Structure 1
C-alpha cells in the first residue's frame, strides 16, 4: 500500500530525442521536480538528460542511474535495486521524484524496473511519451499499418529462428533494438524476401538521424537507437 504522506514517483516519457516532442505535462513535471533521475551509461553523459537540458530550471537534485553497457542480467538489476533504495529516501521525505524515460516509459522502457520495485510502497504515475515507434514512422513518412493489418514488434536480440518465424507471415512489423544484431536481421529479411519492403531509421528525430531503404544500408554496425520498419503490402494506405 502506497504511503499517502510520501512524495510521488513519476515515470515521464520524454520522446525519442527532439526536445520539442515533450508533452506539456512532461515539461511541467520536469521543471517542477525537486528530484530528477535519469538513465545514464556507466561512463559518459545521459542522453535522456540532454533531451531536456534546455528546459531544466537548475537547483534540482539530480540522480543519474548509471547502467553498465553489458548484456548480462544481474549487474543491471543490481543498479535498479540501488536506485530504488536511494530514490526511496527522497520519497519518504515527502519529495516528488521525476524519472526521465526516453520514448515512452512502458514501451520497452527501463522505468518499468523501478516501477516494479516501488509501486507497492509509493504512489506512482506514468506519463506517456512519443515512442520511438511513432517517431520512426513519422520520419520515414509512411504509416506503420493500414486497415486490418496486424502490427508485429520484434526486439533485435531475439533468437534468429524465432525472428524468422515471427516475420514469415508478417503484414507490418517493426524490428527494434537493432544495434549489433543488424547483419543477422538483414540476412533473415533477405531470406524471407522482405528487404524491398523494409526501411531503416537511425536516431529518429535527432540531429544525426538517418533514414533510408534497407537495401541502401552499408555494412556499418547499426547503433542501439535504430529500427527497421516493414510493410509487406507496400503503400496499402493509398488508393
Structure 2
C-alpha cells in the first residue's frame, strides 16, 4: 500500500488516518530522509512538541517545507526542568500531558486525516514521540520514519571514527547517578553522553574518576548552523546548551 494512502477502518464505515512519527534527523534539513521530506511536503496536519513560548526545534527544522494551509498542532510541555526527575509529580504531570496529546491526535486520525508528528533525531531514540506511540498503537494506525540521530551527527563532527573492531559503545544519560556513570564509563570502549545540561559537573567528575576525561569531546548543536566542537577539558566552566553531546572515541582493533 502506498505510504500516503494507508488507512484503517473504524465503526460506521469511517476510516482512520495514519499517525506518522517522522524523524527529522539532527537539525540540518539536508540530512533528512527522502521519505520524511516527501511526507512533509504533502502534509495536511503536523504536530510537534515545544516549550511554552518557543517555536520548537522540530518546527524550526521544517521551516519552508510545509505546504500552504497545513494545520499545525503545537504540543507544549507543562514542565521541563522546573521539577526534579525524582519528584513523583514529574511523571504524573507528563503522563497527563501525553494522554491529552494522544486524545488530540486520535481525534484527527478518527476524522480521517493523516497527521505527522515531528521528531528531532530518530522517533524511537530517547524521544517524546515514544510516549505517544505506546498510547496510540492499539487504537490508531501508527507508522514510524527512522532518521539519523543527534549522536551520529556529533561523532561525525569530531572527524574521527567512534568505534573500531570489537569496541563496545555505551550511550549514557547525564541524569544517571554519578557512581553508575563511572561504572559504565569504565566498562565501555566508546561513550556517548546525552542530557548534559545541569548535570555537566557530575559528568566531568565521573569522566575524571573513570580515567576518560582527557579523551572526551564536547559537541554543541551538532549539524546545526551554530555547531561547535572542542575537547571537554577546554570548556571548563562552560554552561552547556540543551543540544550538547559528549563523545569519547573507541580505540579498538584495526588492521
Q: Judge same fold: TM > 0.5, yes or no.
A: yes
Correspondence for 1:69 among 52, 74, 80: 80
1:44 match = 54
CA distance in 2, matches of 1:201, 1:237: 25
Match of 1:54, SS state, is: coil
Query: Is structure 2 residue 150 aligned with structure 1 residue 139?
Result: no
CA distance in 1, matches of 2:50, 2:94: 12
Question: Please, what is the CA RMSD of the aligned residues?
Answer: 1.5
Cα deviations by residue, 1:35-76 (Å, 9 ceiling, x for unpaired): 100011022211100000121122011001101223422222
Query: Is structure 2 residue 252 aligned with structure 1 residue 216?
Result: no
**Inter-CA distance 209–237: structure 2 relative to 1 (3 Å threshold):** farther
Size of the alignment, in residue pairs? 236
CA distance in 1, matches of 2:110, 2:153: 37
Shift of 1:232: 4.9
Shift of 1:3: 4.0
Correspondence for 1:7 among 1, 13, 17: 17
CA distance in 1, matches of 2:45, 2:161: 38
Cα deviations by residue, 1:64-91 (Å, 9 ceiling, x for unpaired): 1101223422222222111110111110
Shift of 1:238: 6.5
Using structure 2 for the length normalisation, give the TM-score. Answer: 0.88
2:187 match = 169
CA distance in 1, matches of 2:220, 2:198: 13
> Is the contact between residue 180 and residue 224 of structure 1 (CA under 8 Å) also seen in structure 2?
no
Match of 1:62, SS state, is: strand
CA distance in 1, matches of 2:253, 2:118: 35
Cα deviations by residue, 1:81-110 (Å, 9 ceiling, x for unpaired): 111101111100110010000000001111
Cα deviations by residue, 1:107-141 (Å, 9 ceiling, x for unpaired): 11110001011000111110001101111111111
CA distance in 1, matches of 2:106, 2:202: 41
Using structure 1 for the length normalisation, give the TM-score. Answer: 0.94
Gaps of 5+ in 1: none
